[in-house]
């Protein structure tokens, strides 16, 4: 058995294989439901209605998608240049810390929101700059350093919430004081529980798309990602491109934390992110690293999580089914995309 | 500080903390020497911790639990190996996917088996086994020779990995797969077979490392109990320059700092410095270790390079 390249993949092949990957994921979902002793069709139906069945459900899905759009964009930008930023979780918390530092009375309206957003962006960028400088200067693999920084950051946040940033009125819970009303992101439509973080996420996706497709930097990022040696040979400032990519990626991930604190929660706690940084990897890969695709896949992934939560309450299938399905979807999709370009032949 | 360093309990703790790291580091080392980066390690340790514990909870003997953990790890290794070796998919992306899948599978299965527990049920873990005569040596005896069988097994495993890798034709094939796969293929050996096999065995060892946590160190399975140990092991492989002996030394050094920080928390220093700072030490040290070794590392030449028969 060996692989043979497919010269001109047909449209059927290009669309059929990813569709097949999604269909296979649905089959796995049904299998897991059977394993848990539930009716597979009922489980699928409950996930769907849990995510989209009511106005409340749709709003919950949109809210859950907001940080995922940011982290998905952060990963998509980095992975496109083959910069393996697995540290979106840490960068997210960097942005969240800034939102608290500047949003609890240090600044008033109208400066607090734009300034804290800008500083959050910078903080996330700086946090990713360290591993990337270690990579370009010393050749230290960024996968492990960015991963380890996630654990360091989690402990740092824990320290802040039990020390300098502890809410004196928090009844002993490790959480920060609440943001002032000026520092909160307003709702997009009065009366609908959806904050402007979602709108900013959409704008960010469009900006990233423009940068990637319409600017020299975007071209250089793709060149570095597809063949770093060729890019270097062509005289591209490869290291500078990687640093710029890191600044953009880290900044986007930080905005996820900033918007969760300023928009959704109003304070910082240790459970601010249930792994949004890691889930961003799934969001980006399912979108094939396309910035506008990230919006679609973030909504899909958020829907699976919200739907699985609702289904778990009524059908009793553990909510971790969502994490399993998304990991399965990721692996099937990567395989499916690869098989659009090669076929398996005997011999 | 001196008091801590000359106590037998400190050195006993060093060996205990090092044991899961040694198993998992050997596992990752085998994968990488064959040319495959395995970022599934973190999740494979979780599934090992869960599967080994669950098997014993359901009535298997402790060594049966270790065997179940190995098989569960090897199964996820097979998944990783098939996707990245014959299909040549991105080792980074697939590895992270395997970590997510293995972790979620363990959590899903745990909740499925024990839906309503608030306190995790316990098993009877491995008890310490005092080596006759040797354990009577003052200081050294209680430090080195009063460990659980799984700790002795960790060191035996490292010795075995070193022997196989450098002294047997099989080890030569594994190293060739990571250095010069075309030459291996020219000998009539299947690079795909060697690589997938190495990833399976390596993943099995990672899972055994995870099972140390539930079968020897603790007696229950907790969520997030692996807590980044897998990523630390990837750093240890680099720190050990892809050599089993040096990697074991790295694991011991690392475990030494970890045991020290736990004890320093109870000293007057611990009263002033926040405990989170101590807990950060292992991760900070891993990053520093990577930086220190960055210039001297002897990376296997074909690490992360997919191999296709007949291509140049």
pLDDT 10s digits, B254-283: 999 899 888 888 888 878 888 899 899 889
Identify the bridge partners of residue A195 per DSSP, sorted by sequence position.
A187
Amino acid B8: pLDDT: 80
Contact between A327 and B100 using a beta-carbon 8 Å cutoff:
yes
State the Cα torsion B262-B285-A90-A104 to the nearest 10°.
60
pLDDT in tens, B155-195: 999 999 999 999 999 999 999 999 999 999 999 999 999 99
- Give me the residues of B, 147-176, that contact A with CB < 8 A: none
Supply the CATH classification number for the domain B2-116+141-293.
1.10.3470
- Residue in chain B lying closest to A133 (CA): B291
Q: Between chains, do A155 and B90 touch, taking CB under 8 Å as contact?
A: no
Residues forming beta bridges with residue B93, ordered by sequence position? none
Q: What is the dihedral of CA B243, B247, B249, B252, to 10 degrees?
A: -170
**pLDDT of B6 over the 80 cut:** no
Residue B311, pLDDT > 70, answer no
* CA dist list (Å): A111 to A102, A107, B67: 10, 7, 61
Please state, for a pLDDT cut of 90, what percent of chain A lies above it.
Answer: 75
Q: Map residue B92 onto helix, strand or coil.
A: helix
CA distance A197 to A195: 5
Q: Does A148 touch chain B (CB under 8 A)?
A: yes
Rounded-to-integer distance, Cα B195 and Cα B181, Å: 10
Q: How far apart are CA B18 and CA B253, in angstroms?
A: 9
Q: Would the CB atoms of A1 and B290 count as touching at under 8 Å? A: no
Report strand pairing: B129-130 vs A342-345. Answer: unpaired
Q: Which of B101, B103, B231 sits opposite A328 (nearest CB)?
A: B101
Range A316-330 average pLDDT: 94
A171: left (phi over 0), alpha (psi -120 to 50) or beta: left
How many pairs of residues across A and B have Cβ atoms under 8 Å apart?
127
Mean pLDDT of chain A: 92
Choose among A34, A3, A18: nearest CA to A297: A18
> What is the helix (H) or strand (E) element at residue B183, kind and residue range?
helix B181-186
Mean local confidence (pLDDT), A49-69: 95
Q: Quick check: B45 and B229 in contact, CB under 8 A? A: yes
| Angle, vertex CA B196, rays to CA B191 and CA B201, nearest 5 | 125
Look at A335 and B83 and tell me if their CB atoms are within 8 Å. yes
Partners of A338 on chain B (C-beta within 8 Å) are 87-89
Q: Cβ A327–B87 below 8 Å, yes or no?
A: no
In order of A98, A243, B87, B161, the CA distances from B246 in angstroms are 42, 33, 33, 13
Segment A73-97 mean pLDDT: 96
- Distances B279 to A131, B161, B273 between C-alpha atoms, Å: 20, 31, 11
SS3 A1: coil
In the numeric block, the tokens 């020390």 are attached to A163
Q: What are phi and psi of B250, to 5 degrees?
A: -60, -45
Residues of B in contact with A36 (CB under 8 A): 112
Between B23 and A193, name the one with better pLDDT: B23
What per-residue confidence (pLDDT) applies to B162?
97
Q: Determine the pLDDT at residue B312.
A: 47
ipTM of the complex: 0.93
Q: Three-state DSSP class for A345?
A: strand
Kindly state the average pLDDT of the residues A232-245: 92
Residue A148 is nearest to which of B86, B100, B228, comparing CB atoms?
Answer: B228
Distance CA A50, CA B140 (A): 61
Nearest CA in chain A to B42: A147
A138, A143, A326 member nearest B39 (Cβ): A143
- Report angle CA A327, A333, A336 to the nearest 5 degrees: 145
CB-based contact A334 B94, cutoff 8 Å: yes
Task: Indicate if the pLDDT at residue B143 is higher than 80.
Answer: no
> What would the pLDDT profile of A268-313 be if each residue is shown by its tens digit?
999 999 999 999 999 999 999 999 999 999 999 999 999 999 999 8
- A343 - beta bridge partners? A4
**pLDDT computed for residue A209 by the predictor:** 97
Cα separation, B20 vs B95, in Å, equals 20
pLDDT tens digits, residue range B25-58?
Answer: 999 999 999 999 999 999 999 999 999 999 999 9
Q: Which of residues 20-39 of B touch A (CB under 8 A)?
A: 39
Cβ–Cβ contact A140 with B under 8 A: yes
The pLDDT of A149-178, averaged and rounded, is 90
Q: Which residue has the tokens 């910078």?
A: A122
Tell me, what's the pLDDT at A307? 95
When pLDDT is averaged across residues B119-130 and rounded to a whole number, the result is 87
Å between B104 CA and nearest CA of chain A: 5
Spatial separation of the C-alpha atoms in residues A254 and B309, rounded to whole Å = 44
Q: Which residue of B has its CA nearest to A85?
A: B92
- Across-strand partners of A344? A3
Taking a contact as any Cβ pair under 8 Å apart, which residues of chain A between 163 and 192 contact chain B?
A: 163
B304: left (phi over 0), alpha (psi -120 to 50) or beta: left
Which residues on chain A are in Cβ contact (under 8 Å) with B83?
331, 334-335
* CB-based contact, A145 to chain B, within 8 Å: yes
Report which secondary-structure segment, H or E, holds A2.
strand A2-5
A residues 54..93 contacting B (CB < 8 A): 79, 84, 86
Question: Where does the pLDDT of residue A100 fall: very low under 50, low under 70, confident under 90, or very high at 90 and above?
Answer: very high
Nearest CA to A161 out of A115, A108, A93 is that of: A93
Report residue B15's pLDDT band, with 50, 70 and 90 as the boundaries.
very high
What is the average pLDDT across A36-45?
A: 93
Please say if the pLDDT value at position B208 is more than 50.
yes
Question: Which structure tokens are listed for B212?
Answer: 């140390």
**Which pLDDT score, from 0 to 100, does residue B117 have?**
76
Query: Does A316 sit behind a cis peptide bond, omega within 30 degrees of 0 on the bond before it?
Result: no
pLDDT band at A191 (very low <50, low <70, confident <90, very high): confident
Q: Residues 214-243, chain B: which have Cβ within 8 Å of A?
A: 227-228, 231-232, 234-235, 238
Residue A63's pLDDT is what?
95
Q: How confident is the model at residue B297 (pLDDT cuts 50, 70, 90)?
A: low
Residue of B nearest to A323 (CA): B104
Taking each helix axis as running N to C, give the angle between helix A196-214 and helix A55-80, from 0 to 180 degrees, rounded to the nearest 10. Answer: 30
Average pLDDT over residues B200-219: 96
Backbone angles phi, psi at B304, to 5 degrees: 70, 15
How far apart (Å, rounded) are the C-alpha atoms in residues A86 and A91? 10
In DSSP terms, which residues pair with A187 in a beta bridge? Answer: A195
| pLDDT (mean) for A114-125 | 96
Cβ contact, residue pair B100, A162, below 8 Å: no
**Residue A81, SS3 per DSSP:** coil
Buried b (16+ CB within 10 A) or exposed e, B189-217: bebbebbbbbbbbbbbbbbbbbbbbbbbb
HSE toward the beta carbon, residue B67, CA cutoff 13 A: 5
Q: At what angle do helices A11-35 and A40-52 cross, to 10 degrees?
A: 110
């Amino acid at each position: 058995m060996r692989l043979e390249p497919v010269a001109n993949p047909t449209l059927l092949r290009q669309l059929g294989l990813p569709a097949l990957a999604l269909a296979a994921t649905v089959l796995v979902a049904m299998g897991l439901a059977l394993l848990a002793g539930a009716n597979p069709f009922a489980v699928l139906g409950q996930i769907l209605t849990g995510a989209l069945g009511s106005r409340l459900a749709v709003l919950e899905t949109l809210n859950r998608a907001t940080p995922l759009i940011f982290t998905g964009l952060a990963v998509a930008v980095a992975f496109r240049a083959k910069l393996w930023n697995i540290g979106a979780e840490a960068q997210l918390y960097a942005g969240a810390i800034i939102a608290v530092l500047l949003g609890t009375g240090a600044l008033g309206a109208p400066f607090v929101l734009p300034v804290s957003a800008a500083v959050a962006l910078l903080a996330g960028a700086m946090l990713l700059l360290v591993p990337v400088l270690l990579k370009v200067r010393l050749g230290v693999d960024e996968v492990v350093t960015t991963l380890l920084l996630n654990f360091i950051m989690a402990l740092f946040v824990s320290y802040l919430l039990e020390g300098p940033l502890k809410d004196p009125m928090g009844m002993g819970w490790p959480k920060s004081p609440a943001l002032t009303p000026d520092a909160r992101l307003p709702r997009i439509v009065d009366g609908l529980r959806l904050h402007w973080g979602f709108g900013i996420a959409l704008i960010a996706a469009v900006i990233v798309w423009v940068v990637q497709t319409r600017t020299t930097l975007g071209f250089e990022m793709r060149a570095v990602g597809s063949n770093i040696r060729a890019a270097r040979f062509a005289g591209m400032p490869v290291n500078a491109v990687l640093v710029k990519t890191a600044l953009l990626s880290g900044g986007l991930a930080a905005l996820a934390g900033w918007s969760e604190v300023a928009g959704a929660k109003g304070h910082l706690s240790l459970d601010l992110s249930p792994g949004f940084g890691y889930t961003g990897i799934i969001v980006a890969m399912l979108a094939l690293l396309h910035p506008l695709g990230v919006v679609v896949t973030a909504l899909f992934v958020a829907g699976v999580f919200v739907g699985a939560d609702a289904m778990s309450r009524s059908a009793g299938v553990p909510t971790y089914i969502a994490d399993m399905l998304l990991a399965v979807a990721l692996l099937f999709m990567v395989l499916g995309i690869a098989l659009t370009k090669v076929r398996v032949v005997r011999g | 500080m001196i008091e801590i360093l000359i106590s037998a309990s400190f050195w006993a703790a060093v060996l205990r903390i090092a044991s899961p790291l040694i198993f998992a580091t050997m596992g990752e080392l085998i994968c990488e020497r064959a040319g495959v980066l395995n970022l599934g390690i973190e999740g494979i340790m979780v599934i090992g911790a869960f599967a080994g514990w669950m098997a014993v909870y359901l009535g298997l003997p402790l060594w049966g639990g270790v065997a179940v953990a190995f098989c569960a790890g090897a199964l996820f290794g097979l998944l990783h190996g098939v996707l990245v070796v014959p299909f040549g998919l991105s080792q980074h992306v697939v590895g992270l996917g395997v970590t997510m899948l293995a972790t979620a599978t363990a959590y899903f299965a745990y909740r499925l088996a024990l839906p309503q527990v608030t306190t995790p049920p316990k098993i009877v873990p491995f008890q310490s086994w005092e080596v006759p005569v040797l354990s009577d040596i003052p200081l050294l005896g209680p430090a080195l020779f009063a460990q659980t069988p799984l700790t002795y097994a960790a060191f035996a495993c490292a010795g075995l990995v070193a022997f196989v890798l450098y002294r047997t034709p099989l080890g030569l094939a594994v190293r060739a797969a990571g250095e010069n796969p075309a030459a291996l293929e020219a000998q009539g050996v299947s690079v795909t077979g060697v690589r997938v096999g190495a990833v399976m065995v390596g993943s099995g060892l990672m899972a055994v490392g995870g099972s140390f946590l539930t079968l020897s160190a603790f007696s229950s399975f907790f969520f997030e109990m692996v807590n980044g140990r897998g990523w630390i092991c990837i750093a240890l492989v680099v720190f050990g320059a892809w050599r089993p002996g040096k990697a074991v030394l790295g694991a011991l050094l690392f475990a030494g700092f970890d045991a020290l920080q736990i004890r320093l928390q109870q000293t007057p220093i611990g009263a002033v410095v926040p405990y989170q700072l101590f807990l950060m030490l292992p991760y900070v040290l891993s990053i520093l270790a990577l930086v220190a070794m960055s210039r001297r590392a002897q990376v296997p030449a074909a690490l992360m390079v997919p191999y296709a028969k007949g291509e140049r």
